[in-house]
Amino acid sequence: MHITQDTLALIGNTPLVRLAGPSAASGAEIFAKCEFANPGASVKDRAALFIVEDAEARGQLQPGGTIVEGTAGNTGIGLALVANAKGYRTIIVMPETQSREKMDTLRALGAELVLVPAAPYSNPGHFVHTSRRIAEETPNAIWANQFDNIANRRAHIVGTAEEIWQQMDGRVDGFTCAAGTGGTIAGVGLGLKAKDEGVRIALSDPYGAALYHYYAHGELKSEGSSVAEGIGQGRITANLEGAPIDTQYRISDQEGWEWVRRLLDEEGLCLGLSSGINVAGAVRLGRELGPGARVATILCDTGFRYLSTLHNPEWRGEKGIG
Ligand code: PMP
């Protein structure tokens, strides 16, 4: 058995699983990257490690320094575990609408948590702007800036995309996922296209995000809303610039939830809503590409992070998801 020398070496090299239900539903072969197997239980551990090591290499992060970030939660968990392993302090700014499990996990990791009311990006109180201000005011601190720091998507070019290519023996017809920062879709898209220009890259966008309309019609415009955490972007972040998106789907929370429930009931996988939205997108892409096509997607985080929300029938009832 292989022994990993430290915690940080546990990040990445996640398993790829064939999903029976989605494969049968689409007629294609649907494979999913198990990002919940990272030590912080989400895809964001990869970005956190690359952002911290990039800041170290640039000499911006000094021993004993502080990492400040605005996050829906998973990036904060990734940054806090990387910071603990390397001896830094973390300050995490988060909208108060995120799941309690994420807040409790951040506190358990020793991160200093700053909760702010949910606000539009144009509002100076938005969690991203608040985190930048705190970084500027804190001595010996860096602002991780996951949305516009392309060390984020580099983690997916050299990590996630390369792993998918190797695990699928270089036979990949399509890839899809949703976007939060856009690091995953852009990085995996660029990485897979560098292997084979013919790999079809599809964005699976939730309602309330502006990217579906942007890629379909060239204009940022949103419609409706979503309760999915960690996804739903209203602008072209630096990570999304030049993302090779060939097609786009709009996926409702209900459609995503139905896949979360089926994967739990039929395959024993407990996932969050962004994973369900990704799987719904993969089924659509599989149907589009035709029988036997090989499609990859991302299982972004664990459903154990959403026991008080998505996996709680009362909460779903309040949100109109059934
Ligand atoms: N799903 C979840 C649960 C997330 O926390 C995130 C990160 N914001 C994403 C999906 C999207 O990843 P990315 O930031 O790489 O677009």
Model pLDDT for residues 68-115, shown as the tens digit of each residue: 999 989 999 999 999 999 999 999 999 998 889 999 999 999 999 999
Mutate to test the pocket of ligand 1, among 105, 150, 211, 300 (most ligand atoms within 8 A of CB): 300
Buried b vs exposed e over 98-119: b needs ≥16 C-beta within 10 Å? bbebbbebbeebebebeebeee
Quick: pLDDT tens for 271-313.
999 999 999 999 999 999 999 999 999 999 999 999 999 999 9
How far is residue 91's CA from residue 231's CA, in Å, rounded to a whole number?
A: 21
191-243 confidence digits (pLDDT tens): 999 999 999 999 999 999 999 999 999 999 999 999 999 999 999 999 999 99
Residue to substitute in 145, 274, 302 for testing ligand 1 pocket (most ligand atoms within 8 angstroms of CB): 274
CATH topology for the 43-143 domain:
Rossmann fold (3.40.50)
Topology match between the domains 8-37+159-319 and 43-143: yes
Residue 9 CA, ligand 1 centroid: distance in Å = 21
Higher-scoring residue by pLDDT: 35, 71: 35
Q: How does DSSP assign 167-197, residue by residue? A: HTTT---EEEE--SSSHHHHHHHHHHHHH-T
Q: Is the pLDDT of residue 2 over 90?
A: no
User: CA 41 → CA 52, 155, 300, 305, distances in Å?
Assistant: 18, 16, 8, 9
CA of 233 to the centre of ligand 1 (A): 10
User: pLDDT at position 212, please?
Assistant: 98
Residues 105/112, Cβ–Cβ less than 8 Å: no
44 is catalytic: yes
Interhelix angle 44-57/74-86, nearest 10 degrees:
50
243 lines ligand 1 (CB under 6 A): no
Query: In the prediction, which pLDDT does 6 show?
Result: 95
Domain ranges in the chain are 8-37+159-319, 43-143
Q: Give the class (CATH, top level) of 8-37+159-319.
A: alpha beta
Distance CA 42, CA 46 (A): 9
Considering 33, 44, 102, 193, which one is annotated as catalytic?
44
Ligand 1 touching residue 206 (CB < 6 A):
no
Separation in Å, CA 33 to CA 15, 41, 43, 170, 256: 6, 12, 9, 15, 17
What is the distance between the alpha carbons of residues 52 and 69, in angstroms, rounded to a whole number?
A: 11
Which pTM value belongs to this model? 0.97
Q: How far apart are CA 296 and CA 168, in angstroms?
A: 9
Q: Any idea of the CA torsion for 160, 272, 74, 190, to the nearest 10 degrees?
A: 30
CA of residue 180 to ligand 1 center, whole Å = 5
Amino acid at 193: K
